[in-house]
Amino acid sequence: MLTADNTGVLHNFSPGPALLPAAVLEQAAVGIADFCGAGLSLLELSHRSEAYRRLQGEAMERWLRLYAVPEGYDVLFLQGGASTQFAMVPLNLLGAGDSADYVSTGRWSEKAIDEAAAVGVRHRVAASSADRNHSYIPRADQLDLDAAARYLHITSNNTIFGTQYPESPAVGTAPLVIDASSDLLSRPIAWERIGLLYGGAQKNAGISGLTVVCIRRDLISCRGSGVPTMMRYDTHAAADSLYNTPPTFAVLVLDLTMRWIEEQGGLAMVDAANRHKASLLYEVIDGDGFYEGHAEPAARSLMNVVFRIPADRALEPEFVSRAGEEGLIGLEGHRAAGGLRASIYNAMSVEGCRGLAEFMVAFRGRFG
Ligand SMILES: *Cc1c(COP(=O)(O)O)cnc(C)c1O
């Protein structure tokens, strides 16, 4: 296949599961063949073994160090995806009579809100960007907050609509609960107001099967009643995330991904690279009216660049197929937002973004 930079490498812009650094794939393959020189594959190793427990402990420590998480938080390695957290958060954090606030900024926030309704807890929508098809992030002064809310739930990066909080909102007194599935480990974050941050690993932090929950210790004990054992944070915290069999291989891939981030110089360096990569694409989008970004500039995501070809939407499938011929794959938008989407997580190279930017310019030259 002909590729944009003639390296023969495909540039994978898929939203998730998404691309991984080449070094991570290579080292993960070693872990499958022979984990820690023990002569056994990690895939056939007991989660109670010394070797696995060491890996998991190191991965948890690396998470806390890399994210500069202050004292007082635990990290849990769970399963069930972010979608399971939509139910676990309200089940654990809300007791009888408690209520929570949610900000709706897209499909995933809506699902979190639906799930709070499904488990029957009291909750309110403090603000929603649905009025303009989730193209913006409500400002702090637009939030209608309940002073008694136990938490305020936000989605830090909206994978489908391509918006992202530039920083966590500093409003009210309730701790923030953040679904960070699609910008996990993409930038340093301020933990002061965060009570719980969760995300599936498969977009920016590894592979599917692992959900990371980072929770302030005072929120761990379950306030809900009748919550099944597996759905309780205190079950997993008390057992060091070994209450049942954890997704052992996905934990290895997370650890390798975090080691790769350390080699890049940590989250501040990765963040700078992400800003540069995104700017290459947004510059083309802003170049003239041929492309149009979905997100308002102030709310643009550094992870998912969502755009369309407003003058002729029929050109969008043509864009996807011609890009594919040049090795630029995974560019179709989500059915809820339509158009085109380039997911440019940590592992996407500058060359990949430059290749896509050049393709966009050439495509515009030909069809604009
Ligand atoms: C992908 C995604 C989810 C769903 O994650 P699963 O791990 O598949 O349950 C939830 N929230 C956001 C922001 C996502 O991008």
DSSP letters for 197-257: EEEETTTTTS-TT-EEEEEEGGG-S--SSS--GGG-HHHHHHTTT-SS---HHHHHHHHHH
Which of 218, 247, 262 is where one domain is finished?
262
Give the range of the structural domain holding residue 341, as residue numbers without chain letter: 266-367
Q: Are both 217 and 289 inside the same structural domain? A: no
- CA 336 / ligand 1 centre spacing (Å): 15
Given a cut of 90, whether residue 178 has pLDDT beyond it is yes
* Ligand 1 atom at minimal distance to the Cα of residue 202: 7
If one counts the domains in the chain, the total is 2
Which of 239, 262, 285 is where one domain is finished?
262
350 and 273 Cβ atoms separated by less than 8 Å: yes
**Does the residue 291 lie in any domain?**
yes
Q: Are both 109 and 197 inside the same structural domain? A: yes
Q: Are both 270 and 256 inside the same structural domain? A: no
**Does the residue 251 lie in any domain?**
yes
Q: Are both 243 and 127 inside the same structural domain? A: yes
Q: Are both 254 and 331 inside the same structural domain? A: no
Protein residue closest via CA to atom 7 of ligand 1: 81
Structure tokens at 130: 């649905």
**Does the residue 17 lie in any domain?**
no
pLDDT at 7: 57
Under DSSP, the state recorded for 44 is: G
**Does the residue 16 lie in any domain?**
no
Active site residues: 108, 179, 203
What is the mean pLDDT of the segment spanning 190-208? Answer: 97
Q: Are both 79 and 149 inside the same structural domain? A: yes
Give 5-59 pLDDT, tens digit per residue: 555 679 999 999 999 999 999 999 999 999 988 789 999 999 999 999 999 999 9
Q: Are both 112 and 174 inside the same structural domain? A: yes
Given a cut of 80, whether residue 214 has pLDDT beyond it is yes
* pLDDT band, residue 141 (cuts 50/70/90): very high
Q: Are both 277 and 323 inside the same structural domain? A: yes
Spatial distance between the Cα atoms of 309 and 291, rounded to a whole number of angstroms: 5
Q: Are both 172 and 275 inside the same structural domain? A: no
Q: Are both 167 and 204 inside the same structural domain? A: yes
* pLDDT band, residue 136 (cuts 50/70/90): very high
316 and 308 Cβ atoms separated by less than 8 Å: yes
The pTM assigned to this predicted structure is 0.97
Pocket lining: 207 vs ligand 1, CB cutoff 6 Å: no
Pocket lining: 159 vs ligand 1, CB cutoff 6 Å: yes
Q: 3-state DSSP: the chain helix, strand, coil percent, rounded to 5?
A: 40, 15, 45
Give 106-122 pLDDT, tens digit per residue: 999 999 999 999 998 99
CA distances from 317 to 133, 308, 330, 341, 358 (A): 22, 11, 12, 12, 18
* Ligand 1 atom at minimal distance to the Cα of residue 155: 13
Q: Are both 166 and 141 inside the same structural domain? A: yes
pLDDT at 1: 44
Protein residue closest via CA to atom 10 of ligand 1: 82
User: Residue 213 sits in a domain of what CATH number?
Assistant: 3.40.640.10
**Does the residue 3 lie in any domain?**
no
Pocket test for ligand 1, best of 78, 102, 107, 108 (most atoms within 8 A of CB): 108
**Does the residue 295 lie in any domain?**
yes
Pocket lining: 182 vs ligand 1, CB cutoff 6 Å: yes
Which of 232, 262, 292 is where one domain is finished?
262
**Does the residue 11 lie in any domain?**
no
User: Residue 299 sits in a domain of what CATH number?
Assistant: 3.90.1150.10
- CA 179 / ligand 1 centre spacing (Å): 8
* % of the chain at pLDDT higher than 90: 93
260 and 21 Cβ atoms separated by less than 8 Å: yes
* pLDDT band, residue 228 (cuts 50/70/90): very high
Pocket lining: 129 vs ligand 1, CB cutoff 6 Å: no
pLDDT at 11: 96
Q: Are both 213 and 285 inside the same structural domain? A: no
Query: Can you give the C-alpha Rg of the chain in angstroms?
Result: 21
